[in-house]
Amino acid sequence: MPGDFNGAADAILNGVITSDPRVPGVVAMVTDRDRNIYEGAAGKRRLDRDDAMSTDTVFALFSTTKVITGTAVLQLVEEGRLDLDAPASTYAPDIGRIQVIEGFDENGEPRLRAPRRAVTTRMLMLHTAGFGYEFFNRTYFRLAQEKGQPSVVTATKAALMTPLLFDPGEGWEYGSNIDWCGQVVEGITGHRLGEVLKTRIFKPLGIRDMTFELDDGLRARLAGMHARNADGSLTPMDFELPAKPEVHMGGHGLYGTVGDYMRFIRMWLNDGQGEHGRVLKAETVRMAEKNHLGNLKVRMLPGVIPSLSNDAEFFPGLSKSWSFTFMVNDEEAPTGRPAGCLGWAGLANLFFHIDRGNGYGGFWATQILPFGDPISFGGYVDFETAFYASLRQARVA
């Protein structure tokens, strides 16, 4: 392990569970190209129960699901079964029915029109198709409040049928795009997304405990969700995504362990090679990691529903782009994360990054709402900063 990272990391994990305010529990890991070089767990799975957080704890992975679905898309591109620039409706016909919303009329009815061009899978992969989320977009929030638009966490087809916020390809808006990528994958393969991921990604990676459909065995190791209150205190929540979802939501629906997620990160560090087989070609990985947004940039995510998200942004003031399907920091981050690294997050304050240049990746998992929790995110930033400090120290020594 670079430098004295293990001791620093343990102190950070213990610090966030004992501070005031605190996190209930956390699992954090770092891997090199071969194996995990740090595994830590601290605190409790749920504050009102006795179970200690452990490295085999199961988490709702939320949007850290996206890059796994994106990998399934890239596999189909490799095989010539998916054209990123063909209309996505070629593979998922329902997306062809969706219109653009231009606001609301005097009666509060949505003003809709046909889009000027078709949504493509490339746009879905880059979040430029026009889809949003109700917790980051006021138009979607109004549709949910006034028109009964179901939330994506219902895992229903109706939740996907939201209007486009702009004409496809004309902006960047983080939203349900990768859920639609899952529909594209299902349309091409003829199988549910969970089955596709299991056979084409999880098996060659040696992943055992990752699923859209939580069973009793995994539930017994599940970390509980917690709400951060205005005074900084935490309230345990009985939150669970549907156990038998109508739609396997490729944008947020997976449950899994941090250890299994590290196997996925190692595949990206190793040019697409998994522990038990190849997942992607090396040239696909090198293509995918590049900025595909052009001159568009990733923006701050405004916390429209305060119980679900704060205003949230990685490294404010630094230029950030989007790849297939990660955020890319265009400049070195204050943590020491080099320019060109891949990373993203999940709504319940899960954070990861993949540093292909140096051959390391990290993951930090908590189960706290709203997103952008200052204690959990601050702990992750300290964790990543300590890692890069130890890496620099090891190189000097």
Residues of each domain in the chain carrying CATH 3.40.710.10: 5-63+214-396
Which are the contacts of 258, defined by CB distance < 8 A and separation ≥ 6? Answer: 27, 28, 29, 55, 57, 59, 363, 365
Question: What count of other Cβ atoms lies within 10 Å of the Cβ of residue 237?
Answer: 14
Residue 265's region, left for phi above 0, alpha for psi from -120 to 50, else beta, is: alpha
pLDDT digits (tens, 9 = 90+) for 301-315: 999 999 999 999 999
Whether the model clears a pTM of 0.95, i.e. scores above it, the answer is yes
- 38, 44, 66, 376: the active-site residue: 66
Geometric angle at alpha carbon 64, from 285 and 275, rounded to 5°: 50
Backbone angles phi, psi at 102, to 5 degrees: -115, 30
Is 151 a residue of the active site?
no
Note if the bond before 168 is cis, omega within 30 degrees: no
pLDDT digits (tens, 9 = 90+) for 73-103: 999 999 999 999 999 999 999 999 999 999 9
Contact 4, 37 (CB under 8 A): no
Residue with tokens 């300590």: 386
- 38, 44, 63, 320: the active-site residue: 63
pLDDT digits (tens, 9 = 90+) for 99-126: 999 999 999 999 999 999 999 999 999 9
Helices 374-396, 5-18: inter-axial angle, 10-degree rounding: 170
Rg of the chain on CA atoms, in Å = 20
Q: Where residue 395 falls among pLDDT bands split at 50, 70, 90? A: confident
Q: In terms of DSSP bridges, do strands 234-237 and 225-228 run parallel, antiparallel, or are they unpaired?
A: antiparallel
Hey, which CATH number is domain 5-63+214-396, 3.40.710.10, 1.10.490.20, 2.30.30.40, 3.30.413.10? 3.40.710.10
pLDDT digits (tens, 9 = 90+) for 149-205: 999 999 999 999 999 999 999 999 999 999 999 999 999 999 999 999 999 999 999
Is 63 a residue of the active site?
yes
Instruction: Report d(CA 310, CA 33) in Å as an integer.
Output: 34
Instruction: Report d(CA 257, CA 54) in Å as an integer.
Output: 10
pLDDT digits (tens, 9 = 90+) for 219-266: 999 999 999 999 999 999 999 999 999 999 999 999 999 999 999 999
- 140, 174, 261, 388: the active-site residue: 174
Average pLDDT across the chain, whole number: 97
